[in-house]
């Protein structure tokens, strides 16, 4: 023990153990760093999800211009990750909004899914809550927008449709003769 070790740290190879307070500070630092990393990853996931939506809309637009024949089964499976199985509620919400010729309320989206794929909502206790959640996510992904409807309820619009209407309006303005 004449090498500088005390009886408290003699068996630890010269390392002094941390007091409980120091250990808590270390744990708090690790938790803080993990929280920062988690927040960063969540932010990155949001950006990646938005980018995926943009690329998907690009592919859909190209398919509309040049024909659906350019979309093979492998590419289609990337759209909902389900392969050849029945479409899920999220892809059904996307389809309903994309095919709609006007803004739709959550109730209208739910009714349309119930009309076309009744089994899809059968196992859900509260289909409206499910639809509202999915529509909110589509807004987060940048695939849809939400705004107040005529009767004060929220209505959703498929972004590609909104962009198409905006470009049509601009084209209409540009094609008017100058006075």
pLDDT of residue 14: 45
Structure tokens given for 48: 């990646």
pLDDT of residue 120: 86
pLDDT of residue 81: 53
pLDDT of residue 119: 87
pLDDT of residue 156: 95
DSSP 178: P
- CB environment 95-128: b (16+ within 10 A), e (fewer): bbbeebeebbbbebbbebbeeebeebbeeeeebe
pLDDT of residue 152: 87
pLDDT of residue 80: 56
pLDDT of residue 85: 43
Cα(19)–Cα(89) distance, integer angstroms:
54
CATH hierarchy code of domain 86-172: 1.10.10.10
Question: Per-residue confidence of the chain (179 residues) as pLDDT tens digits?
Answer: 444 444 444 444 444 456 666 778 888 999 999 999 988 988 888 788 788 878 887 887 787 777 767 777 777 667 655 444 446 888 889 889 988 889 999 999 999 999 988 888 888 899 999 999 999 999 988 889 999 998 889 999 988 644 444 444 444 444 333 33
**pTM as predicted:** 0.49
């Amino acid at each position: 023990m004449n090498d500088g070790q005390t009886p408290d740290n003699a068996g630890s190879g010269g390392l002094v153990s941390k007091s409980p307070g120091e250990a808590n500070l270390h744990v708090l630092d690790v938790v803080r760093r993990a929280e920062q990393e988690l927040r960063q990853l969540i932010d990155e996931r949001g950006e990646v999800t938005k980018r995926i939506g943009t690329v998907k809309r690009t592919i859909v637009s190209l398919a509309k211009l040049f024909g659906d024949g350019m979309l093979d089964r492998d590419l289609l499976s990337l759209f909902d990750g389900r392969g050849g199985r029945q479409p899920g509620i999220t892809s059904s919400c996307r389809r309903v909004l994309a095919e709609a010729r006007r803004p739709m309320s959550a109730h209208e989206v739910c009714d349309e899914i119930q009309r076309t794929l009744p089994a899809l909502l059968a196992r859900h206790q509260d289909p409206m809550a499910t639809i509202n959640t999915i529509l909110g996510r589509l807004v987060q992904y940048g695939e849809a927008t939400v705004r107040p409807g005529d009767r004060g309820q929220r209505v959703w619009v498929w972004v590609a449709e909104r962009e198409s209407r905006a470009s049509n309006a601009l084209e209409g303005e540009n094609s008017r003769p100058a006075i």
